[in-house]
A and B are shown apart, each in its own frame.
Chain A
Amino acid sequence: MSDLSGAADPRAGFGQARSFAGPHLLSHAATAFRVVFGIFIFFLILESVTRLELVPPIYLPRASTVVRRMVELLLDPKFLSHVGATLHAWAVGLALATLISVPIGILIGTSELAYKMTSPLIEFMRPIPSVALIPLGILLWGQGFSMKVILVAYAATWPILFNTLYGVHDVDPIAVQTARCFGLKQAAILRRISLPSAAPFIFTGIRISAAIALIVVIGAELLASSDSGIGSYILFVSSNGGQMDSVLAGAAIAGIIGALINSALGLIDRRLFGWRYLGATPS
């Protein structure tokens, strides 16, 4: 199983482990303060570096200019429709990947033979970069929604598949043996034991894929020059007189959306599977 380290341990999120130290309001406040302070310092550093004007500001605008542009963009309904298009393709592609890879992962993970038979194939298909399929995708499905969705689904499939596989494979053998001793059928074992214990892994896979999917959507929009989406907006402003403040503002908004999605999913993860972090012994 060592070659499946794409399967991350759900307990291994950066900055997650602490939250179960206890509900100390004070420490929460201190952390929140440090977070805000950190963002402030980050902005200050960017601002002072860009104010040095090592590069002409037309090429590398000041951080404050970019932030102002970001606010303008977020109030602009036209840009918001681009964001909507990106998120639409992102959500459909991610859902498609989940629907495909969770059942397949469970199927392969529960049977040793199926696992052995498919692993070389999976290992060969996985490294094909989704962006390398953009040219093929353009020829097959055009530059619009379906091309984006299919590419996203392709890229998002792997982490979910690997984590599902890993989770189903990693089920406590004693629990399975016990269930079998009590005469539970294969289906019942799957539903009562394998799935609940694999669920946190599956969710981690979805979370990893969510981040990848967003990057792939925007990349596909940009590289395939789609007609809508954040990526196509960035392509448009960069090729029309190189408005770098708009390019950076678009990229930064994409980054913020990605970070928000990630922390939202992290929150859901802890709500749903918090029990796992509490009694978890290191495996």
Chain B
Amino acid sequence: MSTERIRIDRRSPRPFSAIQSFAVRYGLGIALVIVWEYAARKAGSIFFPAPSEILHRAATLWLSGPPQRLFLSDSVFQDVIPSLFRLLGGWALAVLIGVPLGILIGRSRNLCDLVNPALQFLRAIPGPALIPIFIILLGTESTMRVTLIAFGSVWPILLNTIEGTRTVDPVQLDTVQAFRIPRHARLWRIVLPAALPKIFAGMRVSLALAVILMVVSELVASTSGIGYRIQNAQIMFLLTDMWCGIVLLALIGYTLNWLFLKFEGRVLGWHRGARGRTATS
């Protein structure tokens, strides 16, 4: 208790006003964008277009559609939305496979030891290296891309679920056994809640991985998607378009992470409260 108070006393002597805290939070980013803008105009390098130019181009690329479609252009429907679908589809598949399998493996220590080397090996295989195989086995349609995303992003979920299931408090398990609580209740009431924080941590790492894999999968033998657009822009030497794609990916990654944190806060709110911890950010 007292340490918590000391920490607060030391680190924020007085609360920031709204303007101050806004300046602290976003000042550096805004300053950097201004410097970038100024430097880019001054240098005139084609490799680093000014942020205003990127923004302008992004508006024409994606927000030039008719009003009845919320101004979204064709490119949004052809590239951005399919990309998002593949990304979320692959990630959902990874969750659906990783969590049950992880609980199954994590419940048995012998099974853990048996599959551990294979899992460590499979996890370390770089996803891009498997693209040739995936193309041959699954073609070049969305199935291949979704599978690649799922294959690449399943490992953090699987390993974290195993770890979370293994570290369930043995006293709780013994108690449950003593009271002869049925298996399914044991799973839903004890094992799953105890493993959930770890599972969520894995899911979040996987979400970031899935974005990467989505781009990877679209850089090869593709005809649509954000990754395809970025690569196409490189070949055509349209550097501003390329930067637009990069910024869009950053936005997507940021938004997905933010949404996931909100979701996690909802589902795991009890956990933080129970552990007496407060989120500092």
Contacts and interface: CB of A to CB of B under 8 A. Distances in A.
Interface in A235-277: 235, 238, 242, 244, 247-248, 250-252, 254-259, 261-263
17 contacts: A38-B115, A38-B118, A42-B118, A60-B137, A117-B27, A118-B28, A131-B212, A136-B243, A139-B234, A140-B47, A211-B124, A214-B124, A218-B128, A235-B132, A238-B132, A242-B132, A255-B122
With most chain A CB atoms within 10 A of its CB, the pick from B125, B126, B237 is B126
B110 A112 contact: no
Given A3-B261, A14-B163, A242-B136, A254 B215 contact: no
Interface in B144-168: 159, 162-163, 167
Interface stretch (A121-129, A187-195, A197-205): A121-129
B128 A223 contact: yes
A222 B242 contact: no
Interface stretch (B92-100, B181-189, B251-259): B251-259
A177 interface: yes
Interface of A: 1-6, 8, 12, 14-15, 17, 31, 34-35, 37-39, 41-42, 55, 59-60, 112-113, 116-121, 123-136, 138-140, 173-174, 177, 211, 214-215, 218-219, 222-223, 230-231, 234-235, 238, 242, 244, 247-248, 250-252, 254-259, 261-263
Interface stretch (B34-42, B61-69, B200-208): B200-208
Contact of B246 (A59, A113, A128, A255): A128
Contacts of B242: 135-136
B interface, by DSSP: helix, strand, loop or mixed? helix
Given A42-B117, A60-B137, A127-B250, 15 more contacts: A5-B201, A14-B162, A31-B113, A34-B114, A35-B116, A112-B11, A139-B234, A177-B6, A219-B126, A219-B128, A223-B128, A231-B128, A234-B129, A254-B126, A263-B120
Given A135-B242, A218-B126, A252-B125, A262 B120 contact: yes
A-B complex: 6 closest residue pairs judged by Cβ atoms = A127-B253, A258-B124, A135-B234, A238-B132, A255-B125, A219-B128
With most chain B CB atoms within 10 A of its CB, the pick from A242, A251, A254 is A251
A34 B163 contact: no
Contact of A112 (B12, B231, B272): B12
B230 interface: yes
Contact of A5 (B132, B136, B204, B239): B204
Contacts of B257: 3, 123, 127
B237 to A, nearest CB: 8
B239 A255 contact: no
A230 B245 CA distance: 28
B132 to A, nearest CB: 4
A132 B215 contact: yes
Contacts of B220: 223
Interface residues of B, number: 76
B29 interface: yes
B281 A35 contact: no
A136 B215 contact: no
Contacts of A259: 117, 120-121, 123-124
B249 interface: yes
B62 to A, nearest CB: 16
With most chain B CB atoms within 10 A of its CB, the pick from A6, A35, A116, A177 is A116
Contacts of B7: 173
A222 B128 contact: yes
B12 A129 contact: no
B24 interface: yes
A31 B121 CA distance: 17
Contacts of B246: 128, 132-133, 136
Interface in B216-274: 216, 219-220, 227, 230-231, 233-234, 237, 239, 242-243, 245-246, 249-250, 252-254, 256-257, 261, 272
With most chain A CB atoms within 10 A of its CB, the pick from B112, B120, B257 is B120
Nearest to B243: A136
Contacts of A251: 125-126, 129-130, 133
B3 interface: yes
